[in-house]
Amino acid sequence: MFSRDNKTVIVFVGLQPLPESVWVHVLSSLAEITAVHDRRWLSEFRAIEIYSVCTDKARMHAYIAKTLPDFLQSHAIDYFILDLATRSKKILVTDVDSTLIQNECIDELARMAGVEKAVSEMTASAMHGAIPFDEALRKRVALLRGLLASALEEVYANAIRLTPGARTLSATLREQGLHLVMVSGGFTYFTARLSEELGFHHHHANTLEIRDGVLTGEVSGPIIDKETKRRILIQHCATLRFDTSLAIALGDGANDLPMLITAGDGIAYHAKPIVEQTVMNRIRYNDLTAVLFALGLADYQFSAIEEEISAELKKT
């Protein structure tokens, strides 16, 4: 019988069902580096998990990156390599902007304030790790000085778009018993509402200072930077008495790197180059439901109703 101890699982996920010949090629390519002990469809001809006795995940990642990159790209296939012993997670800690939602909230506010170009350029630089996040945030928020606080509601109601699969991801993991935590370099106004909408247990973000119904251009309290995100993940695991190996983290930018590295498994979602170069498990082609496949859940276990999924896709 195949034991879970000291074994790994490799999960391949296509955007859609693919011809059997595609999967035959993937399996035959893997045979050169590891014995395939068993395999299981998570979604027929779309997502497959393959069990291996090879425990050197970095070596397997390097092999796949060297031998299959063009093939995987041409068929829009993502892959993940995880330890079987810690694959069943207890907590999800996720970034928000450009991960759970498609937007950068501060860029949307900047558009309303007429400073979109300056702010979006600083956002991009911070997410790529070119300038310190806290410095970039303070400079961007300062440019919002004088913006009516009512703009926050307008942005949330009319501009914010959930990432495809966000509802399915949160509903399914909640049903599976995971603790769900948002940790954002954005703002509590948005995370509080998103947390309620998606059923998260906790949210952490920066607080915009508002006085007399107007943004002052300041942030109240400490800034949620990359080290703060990492500490929040560790603190939630400690409070819940889970080892960090039982945490899964999602993010896209340089501000997420320590959190992604600290979690038992970090997954980079359509990430910036600095993150792609560091985090081995990445979603490049799929939506957020690929995370569920990575964790070993089959498509029939997904919780969101079809209407919710369709609504998400129509907004893209």
Q: Is the pLDDT of residue 313 over 70?
A: no
The confidence score (pLDDT) of residue 304 equals 63
Hey, where are the domains in the chain?
1-87, 88-103+162-316
Measure the CA–CA gap between 232 and 239, rounded to whole angstroms. 10
Alpha-carbon dihedral sign for residues 34, 39, 43, 45:
positive
Of 308 and 170, the structure prediction assigns the larger pLDDT to 170
The confidence score (pLDDT) of residue 240 equals 96
Q: Is the pLDDT of residue 35 over 70?
A: no
Collapsed DSSP state (helix, strand, coil) of residue 80: strand
Measure the CA–CA gap between 160 and 300, rounded to whole angstroms. 29
Measure the CA–CA gap between 251 and 316, rounded to whole angstroms. 19
- CA-to-CA dists, residue 307 to 156, 165, 302, 314, 315, angstroms: 21, 12, 13, 11, 13
Looking from the CA of 244 toward its CB, the CA atoms found within 13 Å total 14
CA 310 distance to own-chain centroid:
20
33 pLDDT band, cuts 50/70/90, is: confident
Residue whose structure tokens are 């207890």: 90
The confidence score (pLDDT) of residue 316 equals 46
Indicate the CATH number of 88-103+162-316 among 3.40.50.11540, 3.30.200.20, 3.40.50.1000, 3.40.50.300. Answer: 3.40.50.1000
Q: Is the pLDDT of residue 310 over 70?
A: no
Measure the CA–CA gap between 154 and 109, rounded to whole angstroms. 9
Q: Is the pLDDT of residue 311 over 60?
A: no
The confidence score (pLDDT) of residue 125 equals 84
The confidence score (pLDDT) of residue 73 equals 96
Tokens describing residue 201: 């247990």
**% residues pLDDT > 90 (the chain):** 79
Catalytically annotated residues: 95, 97
Query: Tell me: the pLDDT tens digits for 93-142?
Result: 999 999 999 999 999 999 999 998 988 888 888 888 888 888 889 999 99
Domain 1-87: CATH superfamily is: ACT domain (3.30.70.260)
Measure the CA–CA gap between 63 and 30, rounded to whole angstroms. 9
Find, among 278, 215, 218, 214, the residue nearest to 252 by Cα. 278
Measure the CA–CA gap between 293 and 295, rounded to whole angstroms. 5
Looking from the CA of 144 toward its CB, the CA atoms found within 13 Å total 31
| Cβ contact 235:204 at 8 Å | no
Query: Whole-number mean pLDDT of the chain?
Result: 91
The confidence score (pLDDT) of residue 5 equals 54
Measure the CA–CA gap between 61 and 289, rounded to whole angstroms. 21
Query: Tell me: the pLDDT tens digits for 248-286?
Result: 999 999 999 999 999 999 999 999 999 999 999 999 999
- CA-to-CA dists, residue 165 to 132, 162, 213, 308, angstroms: 30, 8, 35, 9
Mean pLDDT of 38-42: 93
What strands lie across the sheet with 179-187, from one edge to the other? Answer: 214-220, 202-211, 179-187, 91-94, 247-251, 265-269, 281-283
